[in-house]
Amino acid sequence: MSKQETDWDHDMIKQFQEDFLEWYHLEKRNLPWRATNDPYAIWISEIMLQQTRVETVIGYYYRFMETFPTIEALANAEEQKLLKVWEGLGYYSRARNLKAAAEQIVHTFNGQMPDTVNDIRSLKGIGPYTAGAIGSIAFGLPEPAIDGNVMRVVSRLFCIESDIAKASSRVVFDQKMRQMMPENDPGAFNQAFMDLGSRICTPTSPNCQECPISQYCLAYVEQKQTDFPVKSKKAKAKDVYFVAAAIEDAGHFLLTQRSASGLLASMWHFPLAEVSKSEYQQLATLWQKEEQPGQLDLIAEESTPTIFPELPVIWQKRHFGEVTHLFTHLKWHILLFYGRKGQQFPVEIGEWAAEDDFEGYVFPKPQQKMVAQLKKYQKLDKDF
């Protein structure tokens, strides 16, 4: 196509739909949630896929559906069991919202997934994208499902200069998607955009030679692919600093549970204490790791007021290194210390658990990383 118009006529839209859907049905990814029209299964997969790679989701999806095969089973789930099944996926509010929405469905919709976009949108944790995905895939509603992949593809198709980082720009992409959306097979149409954006029309190196719709793409015609989408830079995550204590007593480690609200709500980890950046750097320097762990004195004197001064602990003379974890707006830096329980230790401060029993606790990703770090040093230190 030698000339590209930003507004397509009826014939061009029809041809685009046919070409794009033909490619999708030939090349679509073989994913477990695409083998069903069950709106519950589609809903679970779409929530899991938020901020998470497809390859990671597949195993979690199977486990989740085996554990909670129905909406009613999810509505009746114990929170700790639910979080355990979700453990490692992150963004745990997604799991809690799923349960809350399942309870809504049971009480308001007689246990059946609602089949209109407005009713789907009324469920906890479901926004425009997820409602569009469920509505189009499960119920055949001609509703766009607009995520980052879709906005990238559409912005290149029409050289749209609206900043995709701004919520106000969504209406521009919504209008374009509705102009292109077929009444037949809208779910496949939405998924075609998802597949194209994740496999071919990628952020930095779009593979235009393999693209089934490059002849429709204004950015390709004008060789401006990498100019789109327009996206302002998001704010850098704030650095937050902690010290953590792997405190052992006869093969058991102290675990503390977070409050029922806020970040990582109700989850378990080693005792954590937030410190300033300067305190963190000072501790990292003063308690520097030794080059040869097997040659150091394992246990330090019981005189270390800077690390959990309220806990009587006999500390090891060095830290076990840094663990970092990036949340959406925060970056945690955790300096891990090891110690053994001293005399007159507070009774009601947490729970003591053997490593073999860790599976019974819901650990957030930072805690999983700390456990891995601890095990690394257990192997290094023969007399640990």
Task: Write out the catalytic residue numbers.
Answer: 46
The helix (run of H) or strand (run of E) holding residue 99 is: helix 93-108
Contacts of 48 (CB under 8 A, 6+ apart): 57, 60, 61, 64, 89, 94
Query: Which DSSP symbol is given to 112?
Result: S
274: which strand partners?
A: 242
- Among residues 146, 154, 132, the alpha carbon closest in space to that of 6 is found at 154
- For tokens 């999983």, the residue is 368
- For tokens 């640990």, the residue is 384
* Backbone dihedral angles phi then psi of residue 331, each to the nearest 5 degrees: -120, 115
Beta carbons of 173 and 228 less than 8 angstroms apart: no
Beta carbons of 267 and 364 less than 8 angstroms apart: yes
- Among residues 155, 153, 144, the alpha carbon closest in space to that of 201 is found at 153
What CA–CA distance (Å, rounded) separates 333 from 322?
7
What CA–CA distance (Å, rounded) separates 49 from 145?
13
What CA–CA distance (Å, rounded) separates 283 from 278?
9
Nearest 10 degrees: Cα torsion 96, 100, 105, 106 = 110
- For tokens 């490059």, the residue is 214
Contacts of 287 (CB under 8 A, 6+ apart): 317, 318, 319, 335, 337
On the CB side of 337, how many CA atoms lie within 13 Å of its CA?
28
- E-strand ranges in 258-365 read 268-269, 272-275, 313-326, 330-341, 351-354
Query: Which DSSP symbol is given to 164?
Result: T
- Amino acid occupying residue 358: F
SS3 at position 157: helix
Give me the count of residues in the chain. Answer: 384
